[in-house]
A = this chain, B = another copy of it.
Amino acid sequence: MDIGHKLRSIRKQRGLSQRELAARAGLTNGTISLIEKNRTSPSVASLKSLLDAIPISMAEFFSTLEEPEVPKVFYRADEFTEITPGSAGQVSLRQLGNATDHSLQVLHETYPPGADTGPELLSHVGEEAGIVVKGSVEVTVDGVVEELHPGDGYLFDSRLPHRFRNIGKVECEVVSACTPPTF
């Protein structure tokens, strides 16, 4: 992480000494010295005090600090992040990458027999699409019902009310995409 150098450069930029900043933050100059040399990891409370005294927000501090790094392209199956929707109990939604950094959200969905997302009414803007990979699923969009089998797909405006139900006897898998990812 190296928050030490980051803190030091911001402090210097503002023309503050360790003692001056320490006084404003209610800490000691020694502490700042240790933090800036990365000899200790400050508590969130301490860091907040320091940033408030500069002043700069936590989000700002970390947004300019966080690794720009090489963009991640490939994701192994165990790197997907599990998303547990509030209502639908047993449905498994596994998201590729993290939604907030992209304008496209791709999910690997698993519906056990009997699974039902329920009739969620209008949700986010954007579009949703998916293709059934295994098993079958009954999809209802804006009142129209269809049973989809492997190879079948769907594509609709996310604002339309929609519902997914596995009325078959085997697990159903769907790969879907949304844009933008206002999950």
Chain A interface (Cβ < 8 Å from any Cβ of B): 1, 3, 13-15, 41-48, 54-60, 62-63, 65-66, 81-84, 98, 100
Contact = CB atoms under 8 A, between A and B. Distances in A.
Contact of A41 (B14, B44, B54, B55): B44
A63 B55 contact: no
B47 A57 contact: no
In the complex this chain forms, how many copies of it are found? 2
A62 B66 contact: no
A61 to B, nearest CB: 8
A56 B63 CA distance: 12
Contacts of A58: 58, 62, 65-66
5 contacts: A1-B45, A14-B82, A14-B83, A15-B82, A58-B65
Contacts of A15: 82, 84
Contacts of A42: 43-44
A100 B60 contact: yes
Given A57-B98, A63-B59, A81-B55, A44 B45 contact: no
A21 to B, nearest CB: 12
A84 B13 CA distance: 6
Contacts of A14: 81-84
A56 B3 CA distance: 18
Nearest to A100: B60
Contact of A57 (B60, B66, B84): B66
Nearest to A83: B14
A48 B2 CA distance: 12
B44 A1 contact: yes
Contacts of A66: 57-59
